[in-house]
Chain A
């Protein structure tokens, strides 16, 4: 039994217009996706901006309302309209945000920020609570001095670690990490990612790791799903995606990883242009007439690709 299973999840936003403010069209931010996350695993969700990956994360954690589809947590269906009221689910599914500054309330001290989920989900005395916050700060490598400071007094990397401490506070089973390192510089990115891995090992947490950075995803994730225009186009293990990409969109994403080898610059450029040409030429083979990806077809035991149905 997987920890979290998402079945045919759809999030559509209406576009209103016309004289009576009728719904004239819908934006299909997420359009029928399926995946499941195992205990202790890191599941990568990759895609360009606007592909619906953040919306997926927010819907799972209960910040957005799904149009249709089901979410199963440890085999039990989570009622979507009561998602925010389900205490057990709320405590076990937490989120790390991209923007570390705006995700911490600028008017609250670190103690109050990290203690917020503790106050809502656990009955601790003031001393127990303070002790727990100090322990959490220690886990993410911050000193006890931070307790009575404000978020603005910390650097980006430190703030993101505070965000992680808050997410970890209630001992969750799953953490939705919505581009947790995209706003940080490279040296700090590595530091934060290693912290996340360390915490995962120690506390046996699963991550849904949302990112557009394929290098970071390769470092973090065992299972990867590529998302494009609200649908999954390729799902597989790290090896499947990086070494045997089947879908043109995946190939295009992989070709976009910057290469630092100056000597073969021309070669890489040629390769990128080639991939881009194939991508433009073969649109019809991989996308239906509306521009949406096809349903996933199994290629191997672990590897699924959105290919045109072969009937």
Chain B
């Protein structure tokens, strides 16, 4: 479904990605784990078209999206929940969710999806008229994921959904991610520092180090891998 082939992405003169290749199959949960600054967010931003790789290619559904602008990529069904959640602070919860469906014209279906995400995260229904900036970190993460779901993505990119959240909330959010994958068939590409949680729900995983993929395997195999255990699982 998604094929990233040898991309190099720079910030000015600093090379953040040094030839990343990976692929994601329909219906999978794929995780990309790595330390701070390894290039995880840059990988997602390159896929979403916010950053443009200097070389290499990104193919989605057989179409080259390497140089497409981000709104075109969203319209093809690739949506991202960026690191730090990026809630529109002065819009209400409902307005934030509406923004997620910005490109859609099928009002009735949007309404159904609104009910669906409110059902996934009942707290959002309770606070629907509050502005986004007043939510707690966990609620903002729930809103950010819901907003992305409002676009009915075929491929959902999640950037560190566990960042800065209490373990119980992280648990809840990861359960929802699995549920969305199973119920809606949404393909999920999950970037995480919390390798433990990520590998538990993922089918396959990639390990990123200094802008390069150093390892890839089934998630269960990565969990058993000695190097991965030492470096990322803290056991």
State yes or no: do A and B come from one complex: no
